[in-house]
Amino acid sequence: MAQERVTFQGLPARICWLGQGARARFGVAMNELVGTGEISAPIVIGRDHLDTGSVASPNRETEAMKDGTDAVADWPILNAFSNSFRSELGVVSPRWRSGDWELASCRPGTRPRGTAEMTERISRVLTNDPGIGVARHADAGYELAREIAKREGIQIPMDAS
């Protein structure tokens, strides 16, 4: 159905939304499939800006945060720095204006190559990236984020629970 309704632009791409833990497992599985030759490159794992720890956007993703940190850009900047040494392809950290606000965003990328080294890199990037968002929301007082952190083994120093 997508081939009938979506105009092709550039390389073939697919999108899926996965949560904390599932992203890393999926990325590692893709890397293993590249390693066995079941799928072949070029495959790039990237991410849109619509993510919990990757953007400070007071009119969209971070609107009405419980602790009032809607526009605080520390979290996407922390995400960019922490992914910059984990990611093979690099990290894009654009800033743009949306209405009256200037936004900050982080978009890490990596590429499965089928090697053990890439398994580790992919796992780190795809664990850290959504993990920053879990930490951000736990810090802001969201109980669901604290539950996810506990379930996924994310240690959040500022969270006493």
Answer yes or no: 16 catalytic.
yes
User: Nearest CA to 104 among 69, 141, 135?
Assistant: 69
Contact 140, 70 (CB under 8 A): no
- Report whether 151 contacts 48 (CB < 8 A): no
Q: Which of 1, 2, 6, 16 is catalytic?
A: 16
d(CA 33, CA 29) in angstroms, rounded, equals: 6
Residue 17 makes CB contacts below 8 A (sequence gap 6+) with none
Catalytic site positions: 16
